[in-house]
Amino acid sequence: MTGPEKQDRPLGGRWSRRGVLGGLLGAPVLFVAACTGDKGSSGSSGSSGGAAGSSGGPVADTGSPSPKTSVAKITVFPVTGTTDAEFNQPVKVTVTGGTLTSVKLADLAGTEIPGQTSADGTTWTSTGQLRSGTRYTVAVSAVDRDGLEAVANTGFATATPASTFVGYFTPEDGSTVGVGMPVSIRFNKVITNRTAVQEAITVVAEPGVEIVGHWFSDTRLDFRPQQYWAKGTKVTLSLRLKDVEGAKGVFGTQSKDVTFTIGRSQTSVADLASDMLTVTTDGKVTATYPIIGGSPEHRTWGGKLVISEQFQQTKMDSATVGLGDEYNIPDVPHAQRLTTSGTFIHGNYWSPGSQFGHANTSHGCISLRDVQGGTDPTTNAAKFYAGSLIGDVVEVVNSGDKTVDPANGLNGWNMTWAQWKAGSAV
């Protein structure tokens, strides 16, 4: 090896002249390839598509176009966020530029309120009753003519009425009463919209019988069948007065059911000509008692009188019934009310025993022999009291006075069926 060759040999190995020439010839190719690759990539090593495009130019957007938006526009009334919406007005949903496909109106418990969609599909109006003081949601879907969907989800709350009314009813839930017991409801506010209120109240019986309501006044509505109830009948009163407008701006609050049962069939006849009370139970005479009726100056009302209250002992004061100071008895035993105005059938310990069955000396009440304190269960008054129910009928005959006013107590049985039905508002 000559001196120059020795200098050209790389460290650690031997190159032949051919190998050196080959290496020198390959070097420019590597440089060109490196420069070309760098230029074509435009600094982006992750897009082979970019390398195939115009040299050094922007990369084309090959993604999908943005989706179109539905032109259908939905409007809901009451508007979302309302906190005092009128509960007696319908909810309305409208759409422009499309048709409605779904409307769901519901309270927070999930109870849906039904509604009706117009023939052209652009309007929906609720048909069910909203409730006061309640939150609702509305979910709406619609499509435009291109089939693109629009949705709306809103919420509102109904107002609580400023003025309300309630109905106080008798008999009580779960009670057992006599065959003459009507359903009587007294309202704490004047009712001017009688039809709406009566339609919100139903009374049904098992076994079934026609039951009709009768308005005695703007604050009293009673229900009864044509004849006395049959024994064992189950009667259900359903009050659906909540949000019913009984008078302008005055709304009901009640929604409840009351059930009572008719007990044995018992009626009594108080004949004030013979001064005898005859009790008939389930078609058989079960007792007769001598009585005292109203004097010629204070005759007892005639007609069918229904027992409405019972008192083991009560005070009777003539001043409370417009008779001055004629009597004041603090402990009248076994008293059962027959009229609102103060007629009772009761025990009497102060009159001589000889008067019972022979004389009419009272101030209009009917009395049976008793003892002071009512502690003797064997007296006629005690036995009649023990065998009576609220709702039993005591019919007074030969009293010499006119028939009791049907509104004076629970005494609507003194009207004909035609008269009774004439007082219905539905």
Model pLDDT for residues 356-413, shown as the tens digit of each residue: 999 999 999 999 999 999 999 999 999 999 999 999 999 999 999 999 999 999 999 9
Closest alpha carbon to 407 in 178, 272, 218: 218
Closest alpha carbon to 341 in 405, 413, 294, 296: 405
Residue 12: the pLDDT is: 41
The pLDDT tens digits of the residues spanning 87-119 come to 989 999 999 999 999 999 999 999 999 999 999
For the entire predicted model, the pTM comes to: 0.77
Residue 20: the pLDDT is: 35
pLDDT over 90, % of the chain: 80
Is the confidence at residue 53, as pLDDT, over 80?
no
Is the confidence at residue 17, as pLDDT, over 50?
no
Is the confidence at residue 139, as pLDDT, over 70?
yes
Work out the average pLDDT over 282-286. Answer: 97
275: left (phi over 0), alpha (psi -120 to 50) or beta: left
For the chain, helix, strand, coil in percent to 5 are 15, 40, 45
Is the confidence at residue 231, as pLDDT, over 90?
yes
- Dihedral angle, C-alpha 281, 285, 287, 291, nearest 10 °: 100
How many residues make up the chain in this entry?
A: 426
